[in-house]
């Protein structure tokens, strides 16, 4: 299983084993959606570059809250 496979599972708990708050679930969902966009190669440069910028910033918030345990990739 790769890092990204594990991240893409729908966890209900953070890395501490504590159930995520609604805000945390929303944040993680946002990160995943941005990462899916960041993976794409068919987007305009202005979209791709800005999505990647946004994705790594949201990843930081997820990392700070122990919602993910690995770098995002696709940056």
Instruction: Give the footprint of another protein on this chain (CB under 8 A).
Output: 3, 15-16, 52-53, 56-57, 59-60, 63-66, 69-73, 75
- Retrieve residue 24's tokens: 């945390």
Residue 45, φ and ψ in degrees, nearest 5: -50, -40
CA distance 75 to 65: 20
CB 23 → another protein: shortest distance, Å? 11
CB 46 → another protein: shortest distance, Å? 16
CB 53 → another protein: shortest distance, Å? 7
- SS3 assignment, position 68: coil
């Amino acid at each position: 299983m790769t890092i990204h496979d594990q991240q893409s599972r729908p966890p209900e708990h953070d890395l501490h084993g504590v159930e995520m708050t609604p805000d945390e679930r929303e944040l993680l969902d946002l990160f995943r959606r941005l990462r899916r966009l960041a993976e794409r190669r068919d987007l305009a440069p202005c979209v791709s570059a800005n999505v990647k910028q946004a994705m790594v910033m949201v990843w930081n918030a997820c990392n700070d809250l122990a919602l993910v345990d690995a770098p995002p990739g696709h940056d």
